[in-house]
Structure formats: C-alpha cells, structure tokens
Structure 1
Amino acid sequence: MKDQIDANIGKFLDPKVTAKGETRATVTLTGIRTLWINTGTLCNIACSHCYIESSPTNDALAYLSADEARAALDDVARAGHPVTEIGFTGGEPFLNPQFPQMIEDALARGHDVLILTNAMKPMMRLAPQEALLRLNAAYPGKLTLRISLDHYAAPAHDAERGAGSFEVSLQGMRWLRDNGFAMAVAGRGFTDEPEDAVRAGYAALFQTEGFDIDAANPGQCVIFPEMDLSAEVPEITTACWGILDKDPGDVMCASSRMLVKRKGEAPSFAACTLLPYDPQFDMGTQTPQIGERVALNHPHCAKFCVLGGASCAA
C-alpha cells in the first residue's frame, strides 16, 4: 500500500474529482451480461502476485453455497438483466464442495459457463471429473474452462505458482483435451517479451500438446496486463473517453458484476472482479440496477480496464 501511495500520491482519493480537480470518469451499468460468482478465496496454492490473495488459508471470501448462487441468478433475471454468461472464479472453484451444483444450475438456465481454474488437483479429483464429464455431455458447447497458465514456459510460471505447478496444470489440461472440453488460457504480461512473442510461445505449446486453443485469439488466449500498485498510472477523467476514443460501455463494469460472500456477511455484489475487498466497489446485497454508476477511482480501473483494454469475460 505504501508503494501505491508513493507512486500515486494525491490520486484516487475522491470518487468525483481527480487530483488535478478534473471530473472523474464513471461507468454506467447497461445491464449484466456476465455475472461472476466467486466461490470463495481458498485455493490449493498461494501465488506470488495473486490480486485477490487466494491461498490455502485465506477465507476472506467464504464458500458460497449453491442455494445462494441460485437465489442471485433468480434475482438478476427478475431485474431484467440480459445475462448470457456465468463466470466462476475463486480462489480455486473446485475446492468448493457445492461447485458442481452451481455449474449445473447455470447451464440449466441456458447460460454459457466460463470456469477459471488452475486445472490442478482440486479439478482432478474423481467427483469433479465425473460432474464435468456429465455436464459437458448434457450441455454441449456451453462450458469452457479457462486455465491460469501464467507463461508458456515452466520457469516463469513456476516462479509465480510454485515449483512443478506448470506440469501439474498441463496434466489437467491434457485430461480436458482428451475428454473434449473447450479450453482457454489466461496468461500474464509480466515478462519483458512483446505480446507477439508471448503469443508465439503459447502457440508453440498448444501445438505441441494438441490443445485446440488459438493463441492469436484474445478471447481464447488472454494476456492480462500486470496489476502493479507500485506503478504510477493516470487517473481517468470524463475527457479521456474522447481522447482515447473509447466507449465507457466497453469497460467491464458496464456489463458485469460479481457475487461474493465476505466472511461473516450475507452475499453481496462487487462492481469489479478485481476489487472485491474495496468498499467503494461494494454495490450492496440488493440486486444491481441498470443505470447505477461506478466511479473509476482505483489504479486498476485505469491500467487494467481503460488503458489495458482487458476484460475477465470470455
């Protein structure tokens, strides 16, 4: 936090104006198209730079129950949101014992389902495997698993996720490949390589492994910009939309919300998947309403979403 203050001193303090006194940009919710469901922050590994601080001991976001997820799906539908996709994230979703039921509930409503996973041992247990096989057969073309593969080579990936983790994730991906699952990959731009070189590296890996993933397609091979709070970033003003020729409707919080269950609290909605702990992005326990606004009052808003052009959705 001190690094963030040093790099961005005086910035991101007022949700209405920037440090220079200019009007801060906001984003209006046009309707939830992707509803994210955070199954809990517990994870089988502890990555060096996990934005949500997932680990085997962090249960700041408690396990969500299938009933709680189902109630949120009902409420969002009644509110008229044009939901097409349900994204599941964590932590590691497959640690939550009720996760298979959540997947089935989402698929049964006709939604596309995107699961963010490290494809390691929690996914490879017998019960999750049996559920995945059954659901993929029952709802063909509706289920995609996006594997967190930080780099196309083991040394860089393992430096973030632990020795041997690259090979364990590949074993999970091979099982998904052999059983006909749609896969995507989420990588990170944390090396000095240009993006075309990174994509070429992933392309070579996918070809070698026989993974049906197009490394050139940003929807199938997502390269997320680094979320470094120690880096100086500009604040986004209302004038930036025109300067950057960017439509605020394209920013992630215009079309998504994330259901979370903070420890000891009722489930609530966060405006941003990246900021579940920041109270200014807590939208409360009530169903989000079309037209509600989010002030872009965080460095991630600038670097990841507006300037980075990244989105967590498929």
Structure 2
Amino acid sequence: MTRPDALPAAPPPLAPGKFRDPYVTARGETRATVAPATLRTLWINTGTLCNITCANCYIESSPRNDALVYPTVADILPYLDEAAALGTGEIGFTGGEPFMNRHLPAMLDAVLERGFRALVLTNAMKPMRNHEDALRAVGARAGGRLTLRVSLDHYAAERHDVERGAGSFAQALDGLAWLSRNGFIVHVAGRSAFGEGEGAMRAGYAALFAAHGIPIDADDPVALMLFPEMDARVDVPEITTACWGILGKRPDAVMCATSRMVVKRRGADAPTVVACTLLPYDPQFDLGPTLAGALRPVALNHPHCAKFCVLGGAACAA
C-alpha cells in the first residue's frame, strides 16, 4: 500500500547502473531521445484515487493514494486553450479512476465545447455508475466525439479478478454493457500478461462481446488494445540511438512524440506537465507548467520507455 504521506516511487531497475543517466546508457552508448512531433493528445490526470487497488497498477492508484489530487475545470482551462492553439485533436482523461473526480462531467463539457475529441479511461465500476445521468447528458452533447475505454484485463472473470479483486469483472462488464446500451462509443483495454497468443486473446474477447451484445470488433487494435506489462524491477534493455535502426522503429511513433499529461500534485499551487502518462512521479519527466515549455525532447531513461513504448509498441492513445 502506498504511504499516504509520500509520493510513490518506482523501484530501481534490477540491473545496477541502468537508466541512471539521461544522456548515456550503462554501457556508455548514447541514449535515445524522442523529439516532439505534434501534440496529438493531451492527457489530464484526474487524480490517483481509485475505488480499487490493483495488483500491478503502474501509478499505484488506490482508495488512499492522493499523491495526485483532483484538478478542477479552472485548472485545466489554460491547457485546453494552449492545446487548441497547438492544433491538438484529442483530450484524454486517466487516473486513478477518472469518475472519482466529481468535476469530470464538467471537464468533459469544457473539452467538447471547444471541439476536441474526448477519451476517458475507466474501470466502469461504481464511480462511473454514480454519474449515469450526467454522463448521458454529456454523451448527448458529444456528437460522436466521446469514447470510453474500459479496463477489462482478460476475457475470463477469474483472470481479471486476480488483478483487480473478486467481483470486479462482473461490475466492469456490467458497466461496459450499460455504456453500450446507452449508445456510447466503447473500447476495451486488456493485458497481454497471461501467456496466451494475441490471436487467442482476441478470439476470447470476441466471444465475450458477442455473448453480451457489445459492438466491439476484437480484431481492431484500437477498439481492443492489449497492453504489455510494466514492472520497473524487471531487467529490460536500454534504448540507444542505434536501436531505432536495429528494431525498425521510429522515434516519432513513440508516445512522448505526440502526447503530454497534466498532473496536479498534492500540496502544489498549480498543475504541471509531464512527458508521459506512465511516469507522473519521476522528476526528470516533469517538463514545467506550460505545454509550450513541455514540448522539448524526452530522454528514454526509464524501464517503461523500453518495455511499454519501444519494445512493446504500445501507446495510451490510439
């Protein structure tokens, strides 16, 4: 359990000397960096409080962790103005559980009124259901520009519940079905940690969606995203400038080329911008109070950069 009086800190990598220097790797090679291409997605972290405590939550969300506090509409309006001027198309909301923040419906309205698309990452459990009326009203005004991505770690209840707690699968599936019945655009986020091939995972989800009348194409990698695991204690290779050619990857395809996240830390007077949705606590990824100032190169100096983004090829936005 996260100590309520301290920011969570990622455990150090297992291999000594790795991910220590933003410029060079433990072997003395030039570390890869990612230059900003365009701000395609601006993420708003709604706070780290969550109604459940997952076994492997990368941000250590729980009913007690308020290291990142609830932003208000007033907090995010300057960033929406900056994002509009930069040509950003999408505003994403993540947590914690975003619906724990009572300001979320009003924040969604502010986003949609300005012509952005909105994406909300949710576990679709009780906090979301507490906002049913407000959510329906927002959805009616959204004009197809609101998507809710529901975390459903596996298509089998027992595997999902190992991560999120007994009975959580049934609640999440019921919330997903409610969203579908009420005409929302719904996507699902699963995890690739169960030793099954991607084809078997997608077939399992397809059968689940069909059984419950949920119109999600399980073969669509955006509608059903299968995310790699993130564990900063697991030894992963550092990414050097040579890796782009070796791996056949492009730096502009990595998440920090096209996104930034706004967070509000407990005790802070104002929000700040961080490089990545995955690294809200590490000070080296804090890029300052404005989006303009935050659009600068990011050194891939964390295991998540390697495991999730470069080697995993994953991104939180589509």
Structure 1, 304-313 or 209-218: larger mean CA deviation? 209-218
- The residue identity in structure 1 corresponding to 2:68 is L
- Calculate the TM-score normalised by the size of structure 2: 0.94
Aligned pair 1:27/2:34, yes or no?
yes
Contact 2:152/2:188, CA 8 A, preserved across alignment: yes
Find the residue that maps to 1:44 and give its secondary structure: coil
- The residue identity in structure 2 corresponding to 1:16 is Y
Q: Deviation digits for residues 170-196 of structure 1, max 9, x if unmatched?
A: 111111111111100000111111111
Q: Distance in 2 between matches of 1:137 and 1:120?
A: 21
Q: 1:294 to 1:3 in 2, by over 3 A?
A: closer
Find the residue that maps to 1:269 and give its secondary structure: strand
> Which residue matches 2:114?
109
Alignment equivalent of 1:120, drawn from 115, 119, 125: 125
Aligned pair 1:74/2:74, yes or no?
no
- The residue identity in structure 2 corresponding to 1:27 is V
Find the residue that maps to 2:280 and give its secondary structure: coil
Aligned length: 309
Q: 1:3 to 1:275 in 2, by over 3 A?
A: closer
> Which residue matches 2:274?
270
Find the residue that maps to 2:140 and give its secondary structure: helix
Q: 1:82 to 1:2 in 2, by over 3 A?
A: closer
Q: Distance in 2 between matches of 1:139 and 1:73?
A: 17
> Which residue matches 1:237?
240
Find the residue that maps to 1:144 and give its secondary structure: strand
- The residue identity in structure 2 corresponding to 1:218 is P
Q: Deviation digits for residues 75-126 of structure 1, max 9, x if unmatched?
A: 3334xx221111001111111111100000111111111100000001111x
Q: Distance in 1 between matches of 2:11 and 2:111?
A: 40
Map residues 282-301 of structure 1 onto 2, 5 A cutoff. Answer: 282-289=286-293, 292-301=296-305
- The residue identity in structure 1 corresponding to 2:108 is I
Structure 1, 228-237 or 261-270: larger mean CA deviation? 228-237
> Which residue matches 1:192?
195
Aligned pair 1:11/2:14, yes or no?
no
Q: Distance in 2 between matches of 1:89 and 1:290?
A: 19
Q: Distance in 1 between matches of 2:231 and 2:294?
A: 31
Deviation at 1:289, TM superposition (A): 4.1
Aligned pair 1:216/2:223, yes or no?
no
Q: Distance in 2 between matches of 1:167 and 1:259?
A: 32
Deviation at 1:290, TM superposition (A): 7.5
Q: Distance in 1 between matches of 2:43 and 2:21?
A: 27
Q: 1:2 to 1:122 in 2, by over 3 A?
A: closer
Aligned pair 1:308/2:308, yes or no?
no
Structure 1, 275-284 or 285-294: larger mean CA deviation? 285-294
Contact 2:191/2:227, CA 8 A, preserved across alignment: yes
Q: Distance in 1 between matches of 2:262 and 2:123?
A: 20
Q: Distance in 2 between matches of 1:202 and 1:214?
A: 9
Deviation at 1:35, TM superposition (A): 0.3
Instruction: List alignment gaps of at least 5 residues for structure 2.
Output: 1-8
Find the residue that maps to 1:219 and give its secondary structure: coil
Q: 1:95 to 1:3 in 2, by over 3 A?
A: closer
> % of aligned pairs identical?
60
> Which residue matches 2:66?
59
Structure 1, 288-297 or 163-172: larger mean CA deviation? 288-297
Contact 1:154/1:167, CA 8 A, preserved across alignment: yes
> Which residue matches 1:90?
95
Q: Deviation digits for residues 117-136 of structure 1, max 9, x if unmatched?
A: 000001111xx211221121
- The residue identity in structure 2 corresponding to 1:61 is L
> Which residue matches 1:47?
54
Find the residue that maps to 1:113 and give its secondary structure: strand
Instruction: List alignment gaps of at least 5 residues for structure 1.
Output: none
- Calculate the TM-score normalised by the size of structure 1: 0.95
